[in-house]
Amino acid sequence: MYQHWDANALVVLITAISVSLAVLVHYEGLNLLSRWLSARHESHRRRKVLYGIFGVLALHVAEIWVFGAAIWGLLMFPNTGIVAGAHPLSLLDAVYMSAVTYTTVGFGDLAPIGPIRFIAGTVALTGFVLITWSASFTYLEMTRDWRER
């Protein structure tokens, strides 16, 4: 058990805020993207799919940065943990760690130690859910735009 309950509470709070922000960004981003793609001319069906893919990728990059900034910020507080492999952890290191966690590639050269592990595990779950949501969105857009007329 961790002895620093204040650090644990801070990690849980920042994790909840980060997940909420990432889900909100994804929801609103897909909503805007869907409306924007629907407004495009029908003769550019294949191009619309590419726009959709690039839009979804941009959303995921933004969400990775949300989690990276949260991890980096949390490590500024005492007793929240460390990241083995990068000491001190730079912002870009935190974003990199967020990316490999978000995409569920897993830990390799950077690994969280201490209460910070909670956000890392939650990033993996959130990334998995948001990536599958994007896959469903992309499938629906392609079905609508690629079916034969």
- What's the CA gap between 87 and 101, in Å, rounded? 18
Look at residue 45 in the predicted model and tell me its pLDDT: 74
Count the domains in the chain.
1
In which band, very low, low, confident or very high, does the pLDDT at 107 lie, cut at 50, 70 and 90? confident
Span 7-19, pLDDT tens digits: 899 999 999 999 9
CA distance 17 to 58: 20
The position carrying tokens 């990728």 is 57
Cα-based angle 139, 140, 144 (whole degrees, multiple of 5): 115
Kindly report, residue by residue over 83-105, the tens digit of the pLDDT: 888 878 899 999 999 999 999 88
CATH number of the CATH domain containing 63: 1.10.287.70
Per the structure, the complete domain to which residue 114 belongs is given by: 5-146
Tokens of 66: 């949300």
Pairing mode of beta strands 111-113, 82-84: antiparallel
Q: Nearest to residue 135, comparing CAs of 72, 78, 52, 63?
A: 52
